[in-house]
């Protein structure tokens, strides 16, 4: 009982340290990008020495991988937690969700950018998270179509379109577009935006025909 417990406590402390470091790394990476972030400042933010960083991670790339894994898990869970039996609810939740945290959006951009340059990020964030989410969305669409709750479009295309839109909105937000007020109205709220876009996807742009 003693050894396993000590082992467990040790493992717990290691996990805590790693989380503490990854938290700091996430902040630095999100603010400065991967290239401009320095291990020195990550260590400083984690209130550790630079040397200690290397007791928990092999190198800077691993820090990015670690951050990617954290956020991959996070987004996967959030998406999985969405409960909706009609398409409108589901889309609103999908769209609203990604508009939340600034740091999250920034890291999202970072992962997209780094993925082609960094196999770990590609694997951890893109393949194990993004693609699975898209696949799951496709499967849900397939079900909705089967149940007649959705027009029989190509579910793969629809899933990608939805995902692409969410990703694109993340980028637009990040680029500051959301700050623009339109027509004197208040600047976009994520909530309103989600609803309007959902309406667009759901009802389409085609003008109502005939007596509709």
Partner DNA sequence: AATGAATGAGACTTCATTCAT
Partner DNA sequence: TATGAATGAAGTCTCATTCAT
When the beta carbons of 104 and 114 are compared against a second copy, the nearer one is 114
Closest CA to 32 of 130, 99, 106: 106
Nearer to DNA, 46 or 87 (CB): 46
Q: Which does 59 bind (CB under 5 to 8 A by kind): a second copy, DNA, none?
A: DNA
What is the three-class DSSP state of 46?
coil
Reading the block at residue 23, the tokens are 């938290």
User: Is 178 among the residues that bind DNA (CB under 7 A)?
Assistant: no
Residue 107 CB, nearest approach to DNA (Å): 17
The answer to whether 108 and 54 are in contact (CB under 8 A) is no
- 42 contact partners, CB below 8 Å, separation of at least 6: 21, 24, 25, 28, 53, 63
- Residue window 72-111: x/- pattern of binding to DNA, with contact defined by CB under 7 A: ----------------------------------------
Q: Indicate the helix (H) or strand (E) that contains 39.
A: helix 39-45
- Give phi and psi for 93, each to the nearest 5: -65, -40
Binding flags for DNA, 38-67, as an x/- string (CB under 7 A): xxx-------xxxxxxxxx-xxxx------
Point out which residues bind a second copy (CB under 8 A): 32-36, 87, 106, 109-110, 112-117, 122, 126, 130-131, 134, 148-151, 153-154, 156-158, 160-161, 163-169, 171-172, 174-177, 182-183, 193, 196-197, 199-208
């Amino acid at each position: 009982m003693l050894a396993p417990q000590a082992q467990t406590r040790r493992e717990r402390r290691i996990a805590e340290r790693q989380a503490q470091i990854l938290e700091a790394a996430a902040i630095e990476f999100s603010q400065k990008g991967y290239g401009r972030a320095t291990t020195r400042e990550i260590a400083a933010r984690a209130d550790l020495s630079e040397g200690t960083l290397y007791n928990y991670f092999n190198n800077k790339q691993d820090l990015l991988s670690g951050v990617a894994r954290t956020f991959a898990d996070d987004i996967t869970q959030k998406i999985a937690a969405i409960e909706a039996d009609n398409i409108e609810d589901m889309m609103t939740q999908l769209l609203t969700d990604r508009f939340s945290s600034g740091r999250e959006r920034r890291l999202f951009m970072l992962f997209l950018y780094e993925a082609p340059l960094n196999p770990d990020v590609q694997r951890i964030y893109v393949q194990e998270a993004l693609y699975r989410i898209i696949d799951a969305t496709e499967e849900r669409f397939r079900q909705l179509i089967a149940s007649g709750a959705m027009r029989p479009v190509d579910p793969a295309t629809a899933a990608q379109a939805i995902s692409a839109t969410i990703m694109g909105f993340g980028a637009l937000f990040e680029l500051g577009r959301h700050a623009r007020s339109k027509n004197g109205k208040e600047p976009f709220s994520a909530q309103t935006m989600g609803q309007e876009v959902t309406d667009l996807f759901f009802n389409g742009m085609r003008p109502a025909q005939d007596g509709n």
